[in-house]
Amino acid sequence: AQTVTQSQPEMSVQEAETVTLSCTYDTSENNYYLFWYKQPPSRQMILVIRQEAYKQQNATENRFSVNFQKAAKSFSLKISDSQLGDTAMYFCAFTTNTGNQFYFGTGTSLTVIP
Amino acid sequence: EAQVTQNPRYLITVTGKKLTVTCSQNMNHEYMSWYRQDPGLGLRQIYYSMNVEVTDKGDVPEGYKVSRKEKRNFPLILESPSPNQTSLYFCASSPNRGGFGEQFFGPGTRLTVL
């Protein structure tokens, strides 16, 4: 069974500081894709960053980067220079190369404090 | 503008009254999917479709039906809604199988079943 676990229901960070959100997953597949989605109060789902499991290099998108540890099945999101607009729910998600299903974690609610 | 649209955005109904939530995308995407979002549970996949006339169950298909008669539309049907189907529903589409392409989400439909 494929599962995604986010063990931090809520987090907060001071503006301009760095915060790391944790995600672990479980799969027996070797090829898969991992994602972080952001859901601001508007409820719109926005893709933040994506990582292909076969790539060794960690993905980065501006202030967002991931720490992908394949052996540990860990996929954490680091947000640098946190901004008020980063306040949102963040979901870790996963899909396999062979399957067509998507699996989401339960989410981490991040608050950026001015 | 490339987008996924859902209607209605808000719906309050009563137990047993059949309803349909429509989903349409204008990006010629092959893959479409429905999710429900509940507090503490994250997003869970209800059904997905790889292409016209091809649909399959996700993790929580009970009580729902879908159809894909045209590429752009993927309606979600609740034949006999029950209170445990009160939730926030999202439709999403992707240019190919979810893992290869970014999923584009609709704005969500807030459903309340009394």
Tens-place pLDDT, residues B56-95:
999 999 999 999 999 999 999 999 999 999 999 999 998 8
Cβ within 8 Å, pair A91-B43: yes
Neighbour tally for B32: CB within 10 Å: 27
Secondary structure (3-state) at B84: helix
For residue A25, give both structure tokens.
């997953």
Give the pLDDT confidence score for residue B97 in this predicted structure: 65
Instruction: Take residue A11 and report the two structure tokens written for it.
Output: 């987090």
* Contact (CB<8Å) B42/A95: no
Residues of B with CB under 8 A from a CB of A: 31, 33, 35, 40-45, 48, 50, 56, 58-59, 88, 90, 92, 97-100, 102-103, 105, 107-108
Q: CA B11, CA B33: separation in Å to the nearest integer?
A: 20
Residue B37: pLDDT over 80:
yes
Long-range CB contacts (within 8 A, 24+) of A68-75:
A68/A34, A72/A24, A73/A24, A73/A25, A73/A26, A73/A27, A74/A22, A74/A23, A74/A24, A75/A23, A75/A24, A75/A25, A75/A34, A75/A36, A75/A51
pLDDT at A54 over 80: yes
Q: Residue B98 and residue A102: Cβ atoms within 8 Å?
A: yes
* Separation between Cα atoms, residue A91 and residue B55, nearest integer Å: 25
pLDDT for residue A100: 82
- B71-102 as b/e, with b when 16 or more CB fall inside 10 Å? bbebbbebeebeeebbbebbbbbbeebbbebe
Percent of chain B, pLDDT > 90? 86
φ, ψ of residue B55 to 5 degrees: the values are: -130, 155
Mean pLDDT over B25-40 rounds to 94
The residue ranges of DSSP E strands in chain B, in sequence order, are 4-7, 10-13, 19-25, 31-38, 42-51, 54-57, 65-66, 76-78, 87-94, 104-105, 109-113
Q: Are A100 and B59 a contacting pair at CB < 8 A?
A: no
pLDDT value at A15 more than 70: yes
Distance, CA of B35 to CA of B90 (rounded, Å) = 5
pLDDT at A3 > cutoff 70: yes
| CA nearest to A107 within chain B | B42
Q: Is there a contact between A50 and A34 (Cβ–Cβ < 8 Å)?
A: yes
Contact B90, B4 (CB under 8 A): no
Q: How many CB atoms lie within 10 A of CB A51?
A: 20
